[in-house]
């Protein structure tokens, strides 16, 4: 369809490509001879007509770029192979877009409004920065308990301290996080 919509394409194409080419009428005949069957072939892969036209356009563009290298008896096979590859490329890109959309939907599930998601992300960033600012030993104990979800007894055994010491350090970390949160909330109000 591209070539039919832009008949002047065959007149300016030799000026665009500085390659030694066969006459443009040979390419035009190739296009007219195979476009319909290639379109039907592409429809087996792609449900939307516009996607099929894009695949064919790209395939014929490749054929034009390599026209002088393709033997006449191989032109049809070249076009079929190129159309198939363009369709597969389109399906891969489409699948990737779908996976990204599904992942985004999963990540934002339960957050009706963007402001809720932004608020949650901001809170998470605050907690991360406060945890990073904790003394090493306190951060290590707090991370083991809250990030790694280990029990106080398990952390105490691993670090060679008592469960009450673990509880004390976790309490200190929670207190620091709460204080930082209050400070940030007060600064937002003013």
pLDDT at position 170: 87
Q: How far apart are CA 41 and CA 180, in angstroms?
A: 63
Q: How far apart are CA 141 and CA 168, in angstroms?
A: 10
> Tens digits of per-residue pLDDT, 106-116?
666 665 566 67
Neighbour-count burial of 34, counting CB atoms closer than 10 A to its CB (0-12 exposed, 13-18 middle, 19+ buried): buried
Q: What is the mean pLDDT of the chain?
A: 81
> Tens digits of per-residue pLDDT, 179-190?
877 887 777 666
Q: How far is it between the farthest Cα atoms of the chain? A: 88
Task: Give the end-to-end CA distance of the chain in Å, rounded to a whole number.
Answer: 63
pTM of the model: 0.46
């Amino acid at each position: 369809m591209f070539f039919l919509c832009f008949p002047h394409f065959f007149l300016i194409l030799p000026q665009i490509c500085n390659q030694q080419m066969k006459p443009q009428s040979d390419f035009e005949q190739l296009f007219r001879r195979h476009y319909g069957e290639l379109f039907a072939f592409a429809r087996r892969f792609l449900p939307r007509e516009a996607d099929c036209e894009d695949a064919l356009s790209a395939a014929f563009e490749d054929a034009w770029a390599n026209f002088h290298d393709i033997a006449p008896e191989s032109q049809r096979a070249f076009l079929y192979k190129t159309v198939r590859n363009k369709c597969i490329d389109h399906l891969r890109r489409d699948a990737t877009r779908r996976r990204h959309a599904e992942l985004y939907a999963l990540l934002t599930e339960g957050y009706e409004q963007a402001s809720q998601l932004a608020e949650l992300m901001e809170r998470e960033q605050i907690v991360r920065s406060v945890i990073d600012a904790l003394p090493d030993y306190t951060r290590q104990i707090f991370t083991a308990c809250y990030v790694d979800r280990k029990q106080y007894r398990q952390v105490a055994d691993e670090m060679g301290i008592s469960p009450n010491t673990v509880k004390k350090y976790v309490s200190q970390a929670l207190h620091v996080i709460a204080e930082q949160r209050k400070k940030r909330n007060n600064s937002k109000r003013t």
